[in-house]
Structure 1
């Protein structure tokens, strides 16, 4: 059983000072659960929470790329609340730019947050979950972890990597009764497409006019997205409480539609390449 049948659960959530992460911990605190909330800015988190009851909150300012700092945060969580029941790797940001425009530093920073930060949390949290044979890892991916669009290459690269990491992890820890779920939202009405959460290339390349236009469209999008962050956070809690979600849990009808289109496109590609694929086998004796 990954979620306690009685009493408060203890959640360890990253990226909590804005957007989906903030809404998630606010709902968890209202439920009466214990919440360990990591952020890059405690001041921003405290301001965002306003008058929320903090009696079951452990806010921690943590650089997720710092392995020792992450290990210290997980230990602090155990000292305050005991066992961690649910880990939600939510920290992240968007990036809009052509693949050619992304610098080495920009690419590494994205993977620091989307992959290496997640890996640090997993290394610290999993040993106790395996020993206890209980726990739930929820990695917040995106529909752009399943499909791709021009201008989103860096973000997709990070989310595709997260998807592969998570699927392997799920198979590895299934025998220890640890649940693992990928949550793949579509467009959600958070500040994800605002300057605070969206990176842009330090310099642009002539010729990518369509990407410049797409960037302008996305920067004007906040407030019009289809997804409701309140409902999305409630859904994530439901995933943990029920323990019955599929490996890939889409959120949003837009996410569902894009996933179905991707499956059809990939199936067509597989079948179109079937004849050539079979020519590369070693002949049977």
Structure 2
């Protein structure tokens, strides 16, 4: 498109969301930046005219607010071209140490919140945009594909909300709608300081336990001690490039650390598939061709 595109960004208060808003605006596009407390970006918003930047309150756990945001975006700019589905929270701790209330809180935001934003984006691209179409870019995480110590419930909520829900439908979406799930590695974002860390379960306090090692690594991240992290500014640049691709990938691992984790997971799955393939023999009739075609 030669005219400025309209971005709708969730979780724009900091980190990836804020940098994505900054970069899109710098490229001359228009941005609807959503966050739970718009006053947090009052100073940032004052640098741009209302014809280019619109701040709107949005709690992604509120379906009516999601619908309202899209209506307001259309009223202000006529359409939405790119939805950057980015809002999410992290509550880290051993699964046994995670209260159900905390796990459900993550699912309300990372699973249902992300899913409802995605579903409304698809409906809007199809029914409201003229011509039809749009880009849906969703932020997951490497942990959404590779379960990591301390992040079990978080990984489940991230993979289900973006990697699972629409990772499974990306090939079936028509109407000129393109969907990509981005799986970043470790970047320098406010998430490291905004994440909630639960007290360690007493059964895992040994220094050699995977969760103890993970806690030490996360502590180093929070203190910037000896860990080289990638720039969210560079992340935003890559996402902007992604938004312009005519045929974007359904999944985009971003960062060599993420790529290494994914390759390791794929290797494990491949090994198990090959080693135990014979266990699937003589289980009854299977139309293998239909699975392969799907």
Q: TM-score of the superposition, structure 1-length normalised?
A: 0.90
Residue 184 of structure 1 aligns to a residue whose secondary structure is strand
Residue 7 of structure 2 aligns to a residue whose secondary structure is strand
How many residues are treated as equivalent by the alignment? 275
Q: 1:253 aligns with which of 247, 252, 256?
A: 256
TM-aligned CA distance change 1:98 to 1:92, over 3 Å: same
What residue in structure 2 maps to residue 83 of structure 1?
A: 79
Distance 1:27 1:187 in 2: 20
**Structure 1 position 147 matched with structure 2 position 150:** no
What residue in structure 2 maps to residue 44 of structure 1?
A: 40
TM-aligned CA distance change 1:216 to 1:52, over 3 Å: farther
Distance 1:185 1:221 in 2: 15
What residue in structure 2 maps to residue 158 of structure 1?
A: 157
**Structure 1 position 220 matched with structure 2 position 217:** no
* 1:192-217 Cα shifts (integer Å, max 9, x gaps): 221x2x1223x542121232442233
* 1:206-245 Cα shifts (integer Å, max 9, x gaps): 1212324422331221443432211111000110012333
Higher mean C-alpha deviation, range 218-227 or range 99-108? 218-227
Whether the aligned pair in 2 keeps the contact of 1:98 and 1:151 (CA below 8 Å) is: yes
Distance 2:215 2:7 in 1: 35
Whether the aligned pair in 2 keeps the contact of 1:135 and 1:177 (CA below 8 Å) is: yes
Counterparts of 1:112-151 in structure 2 under 5 Å?
112-131=108-127, 132-151=131-150
How far residue 38 of structure 1 moved from its aligned partner, in angstroms, is 0.7
Residue 21 of structure 2 aligns to a residue whose secondary structure is helix
Higher mean C-alpha deviation, range 257-266 or range 114-123? 114-123
TM-aligned CA distance change 1:41 to 1:264, over 3 Å: same
Counterparts of 1:219-238 in structure 2 under 5 Å?
219-222=219-222, 223=224, 224-238=227-241
TM-aligned CA distance change 1:83 to 1:207, over 3 Å: same
What residue in structure 1 maps to residue 17 of structure 2?
A: 21
CA RMSD of aligned residues (A): 2.0
TM-aligned CA distance change 1:247 to 1:283, over 3 Å: closer
What residue in structure 1 maps to residue 292 of structure 2?
A: none
**Structure 1 position 200 matched with structure 2 position 197:** yes
Distance 2:228 2:154 in 1: 18
Distance 1:255 1:21 in 2: 20
TM-aligned CA distance change 1:276 to 1:24, over 3 Å: same
What residue in structure 2 maps to residue 171 of structure 1?
A: 171
**Structure 1 position 268 matched with structure 2 position 271:** yes
Q: Which has the higher contact order (CA 8 A, sep 6+)?
A: 1
Whether the aligned pair in 1 keeps the contact of 2:178 and 2:248 (CA below 8 Å) is: no
Q: Which runs of 5+ in 1 are unaligned?
A: none
Distance 1:111 1:143 in 2: 17
